[in-house]
């Protein structure tokens, strides 16, 4: 089976921050997990380089939009690498391959009769590259997201007949209840559709920076259609001489709630208009908040991922984001919160557990996992976990799946305390029991670490190597007999000085 997962493509109008890294890490966890399940995975991320959000910043800085893209696109690419994203391609909307395919698809939508020329007037936010309705405005005429004052704009341009897709969209949502999750976001999108859809601009007459409209090269394609199409165009040129569309489309999209309408409403309608299947599913996550506000460039309250990674490591960052904030909801993050979880959960609960098990097998059994049967009270608690976690991750429930895995970590700690292997080791009559206890602990650690691998690829790889686990595929408790050699390991999550 194939699995295609995407992140939003990020605007190149500033330095990437932790909010961007968050979506990328989420998609990466899913990509890695699916690879562990033997799926044929394609994972895409990249940058959105056209439109007002980029042009305006370029003007402000006195550079060209292309220069801005060339400055920031590599920063986003580096960020992906730093957070250990295993993306198969990095798309830039300035790629020739992308621009050519955008024109082809937009032409198809035009040929299919879904485009006309018209006039539009409304409140326009250049940061969102979107018109706002009267009811959306806050504090007079300000953008609800960026809080900047908006001006009324009138445009002569090409329109996409979104209004004619109301019924097809309602049908799509009815036929596929999990098309948009969580359910609250699905309801939001559906309410938007049901209130009646207006046609939307397909082009911008006043802007030069973008993909030219193929039948009217004085105008450029509206940045949102240009950007959304990246999910399809990339498959056409990511691999030289190969078209991956058949193999991977449709996609599972990961995005935050700020761009729900574009993905859940405009995008499937536009694809239908082009005669392309709608996406498979999308998961809409919330915002990482700092001191109560969305972390964003315009608000200036950003956490620099470089600093966080330098201090805690990329794995700890990946873990923290999905442990602290329930994926799908908004949630506060803070350096103090980081430190607390790092210390209590990564260093103590998991890191110490691993080191304890390694050293007990080393000390009491000369570094070889005993070939024994696990005690039923431990085995029973692992029952079903390798099925429940994948099921949750099928729906991108990253926090719930992690909670399920962490239950196993805690169970192993509790089992150490219950069985007290150090006491058993003192009594030769308990040798057989000690074999069973140590086998259970090593086996539990192996299964749990394989499940954690998608979340924390680097540290789990080190541990899996130390416990003699060659592969990364998920594994059932008890499926390995013991007998493997175990090496010692420096602490996985060393204590950090404040
Ligand atoms: N370029 C458009 C997206 C086009 S996709 C076809 C865009 N870019 S953006 O740079 O503004 O990125 C928005 C996305 O970045 C959000 O949807 C989310 O995935 C991520 N995030 C940015 N800040 C975030 C937080 N503070 N918290 C969580 N996610 C955040 O919109």
The answer, yes or no, to whether any atom of ligand 1 lies below 6 A from the CB of 23, is yes
Q: Which of 22-36, 194-208, 261-275 has the lowest mean pLDDT?
A: 194-208
Pocket-testing residue among 6, 8, 304, ligand 1, by greatest number of atoms within 8 A of Cβ: 8
pLDDT at 475 over 70: yes
Give yes or no for a contact between 274 and 109, defined as CB atoms under 8 angstroms apart.
Answer: yes
Contacts of 276 (CB under 8 A, 6+ apart): 105, 232, 249
Give yes or no for a contact between 288 and 19, defined as CB atoms under 8 angstroms apart.
Answer: yes
pLDDT at 457 (0 to 100): 98
Residue 481 φ/ψ, nearest 5 degrees: -85, -10
> What's the CA-to-centroid distance between 11 and ligand 1, angstroms?
8
> What's the CA-to-centroid distance between 113 and ligand 1, angstroms?
32
User: Quick check: helix, strand or coil at residue 370?
Assistant: coil
> What's the CA-to-centroid distance between 360 and ligand 1, angstroms?
46
Catalytic residues: 17, 20, 125, 128, 143, 146, 294, 297
In whole angstroms, what is the distance from residue 41 CA to residue 4 CA? 6
Residue reference for tokens 């074999």 = 435
Pocket-testing residue among 5, 23, 291, ligand 1, by greatest number of atoms within 8 A of Cβ: 23
In whole angstroms, what is the distance from residue 3 CA to residue 454 CA? 15
In whole angstroms, what is the distance from residue 44 CA to residue 22 CA? 15
> What's the CA-to-centroid distance between 297 and ligand 1, angstroms?
11
HSE (CB half, 13 Å, CA atoms) of 290?
16
Task: Render pLDDT for 20-44 as a digit per residue (tens, 0 to 9).
Answer: 999 999 999 999 999 999 999 999 9
Atom of ligand 1 nearest to the CA of 11: 10
The answer, yes or no, to whether any atom of ligand 1 lies below 6 A from the CB of 287, is yes
Q: Whose CA is nearest to atom 28 of ligand 1?
A: 287
Measure the CA dihedral 440/442/445/450, to 10°. -110
The answer, yes or no, to whether any atom of ligand 1 lies below 6 A from the CB of 444, is no
When pLDDT is averaged across residues 322-348 and rounded to a whole number, the result is 94
Neighbours of 316 (CB within 10 A): 22
pLDDT at 481 (0 to 100): 97
In whole angstroms, what is the distance from residue 34 CA to residue 43 CA? 11
Q: Whose CA is nearest to atom 29 of ligand 1?
A: 19
Neighbours of 48 (CB within 10 A): 27
Give yes or no for a contact between 230 and 93, defined as CB atoms under 8 angstroms apart.
Answer: yes
Pocket-testing residue among 5, 9, 20, ligand 1, by greatest number of atoms within 8 A of Cβ: 20
pLDDT at 158 (0 to 100): 96
pLDDT at 498 over 70: no
Q: If pLDDT is split at 50, 70 and 90, which confidence band does 12 have?
A: very high
Strands (E) located in 291-384: 293-294, 331-332
The answer, yes or no, to whether any atom of ligand 1 lies below 6 A from the CB of 48, is yes
Q: Whose CA is nearest to atom 7 of ligand 1?
A: 10
Atom of ligand 1 nearest to the CA of 7: 19
The answer, yes or no, to whether any atom of ligand 1 lies below 6 A from the CB of 290, is no
Task: Render pLDDT for 49-75 as a digit per residue (tens, 0 to 9).
Answer: 998 899 999 999 999 999 999 999 999
When pLDDT is averaged across residues 68-86 and rounded to a whole number, the result is 98
The answer, yes or no, to whether any atom of ligand 1 lies below 6 A from the CB of 11, is yes
Pocket-testing residue among 11, 13, 19, 127, ligand 1, by greatest number of atoms within 8 A of Cβ: 19
pLDDT at 140 (0 to 100): 87
In whole angstroms, what is the distance from residue 332 CA to residue 294 CA? 9
The answer, yes or no, to whether any atom of ligand 1 lies below 6 A from the CB of 10, is yes
The closest alpha carbon to 370, from 460, 430, 453, belongs to 430
pLDDT at 31 (0 to 100): 99
Q: If pLDDT is split at 50, 70 and 90, which confidence band does 278 have?
A: very high
Residue 38 φ/ψ, nearest 5 degrees: 85, 10
Q: Which of 120-134, 383-397, 464-478 has the lowest mean pLDDT?
A: 120-134
The answer, yes or no, to whether any atom of ligand 1 lies below 6 A from the CB of 296, is yes
Instruction: Output the six-digit token pair for 120.
Output: 């539009």
Give yes or no for a contact between 7 and 306, defined as CB atoms under 8 angstroms apart.
Answer: no
Q: Whose CA is nearest to atom 24 of ligand 1?
A: 19
State what percent of residues in the chain have pLDDT above 90.
Answer: 85
The closest alpha carbon to 477, from 398, 421, 415, belongs to 415
- Average pLDDT of the chain is 95
């Amino acid at each position: 089976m194939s699995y295609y997962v995407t992140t939003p493509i990020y605007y190149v109008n500033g330095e990437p921050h932790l909010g961007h890294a968050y979506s990328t890490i989420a998609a990466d966890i899913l990509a890695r997990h699916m690879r562990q399940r033997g799926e044929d995975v394609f994972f895409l991320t990249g940058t959105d380089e056209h439109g007002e959000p980029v042009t305006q910043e370029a003007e402000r800085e006195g550079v060209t939009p292309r220069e801005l893209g060339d400055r920031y696109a590599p920063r986003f690419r580096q960020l992906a690498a730093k957070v250990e994203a295993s993306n198969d391609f990095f798309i830039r909307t300035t790629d020739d391959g992308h621009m050519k395919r955008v024109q082809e698809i937009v032409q198809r939508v035009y040929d299919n009769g879904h485009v006309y020329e018209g006039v539009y007037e409304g409140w326009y936010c250049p940061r969102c590259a979107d018109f706002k309705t009267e009811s959306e405005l806050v504090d007079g005429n300000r953008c609800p997201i960026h809080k900047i004052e908006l001006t009324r704009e009138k445009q002569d341009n090409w329109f996409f007949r979104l209004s004619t897709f109301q019924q097809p969209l309602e049908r799509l949502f009815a036929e596929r209840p999990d098309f948009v999750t969580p359910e609250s976001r699905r309801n939001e999108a559906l309410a938007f559709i049901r209130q009646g859809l207006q046609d939307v601009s397909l082009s911008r007459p006043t802007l030069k920076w973008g993909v030219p409209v193929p039948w009217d090269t004085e105008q450029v394609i509206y940045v949102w259609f240009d950007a959304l199409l990246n999910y399809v165009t990339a498959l056409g040129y990511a691999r030289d001489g190969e078209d991956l569309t058949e193999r991977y489309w449709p996609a599972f999209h990961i995005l935050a709630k700020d761009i729900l309408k574009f993905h859940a409403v405009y995008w499937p309608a536009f694809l239908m208009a082009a005669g392309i299947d709608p996406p498979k599913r999308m998961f809409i996550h919330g915002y990482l908040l700092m001191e109560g506000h969305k972390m964003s460039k315009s608000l200036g309250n950003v956490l620099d991922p470089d600093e966080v990674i330098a201090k805690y490591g990329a794995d700890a960052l990946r873990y923290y984001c999905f442990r602290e904030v329930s994926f799908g909801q908004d949630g506060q993050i803070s350096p103090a919160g980081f430190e607390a979880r790092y210390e209590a959960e990564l260093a103590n609960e998991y890191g110490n557990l691993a080191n304890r098990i390694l050293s007990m097998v080393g000390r009491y059994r000369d570094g070889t996992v005993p070939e024994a049967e696990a005690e039923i009270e431990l085995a029973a608690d692992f029952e079903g976990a390798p099925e429940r976690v994948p099921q949750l991750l099928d729906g991108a429930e990253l926090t719930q799946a992690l909670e399920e895995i962490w239950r196993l970590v805690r169970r192993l700690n509790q089992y150490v305390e219950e069985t007290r292997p150090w006491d058993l080791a003192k009594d030769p009559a308990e040798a057989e029991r000690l074999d069973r206890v140590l086998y259970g602990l090593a086996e539990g650690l192996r299964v749990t670490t394989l499940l954690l691998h998608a979340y924390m690829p680097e540290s789990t790889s080190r541990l899996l190597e130390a416990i003699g686990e060659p592969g990364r595929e998920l594994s059932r408790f008890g499926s390995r007999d013991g007998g493997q050699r175990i090496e010692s390991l420096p602490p996985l999550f060393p204590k950090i000085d404040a």
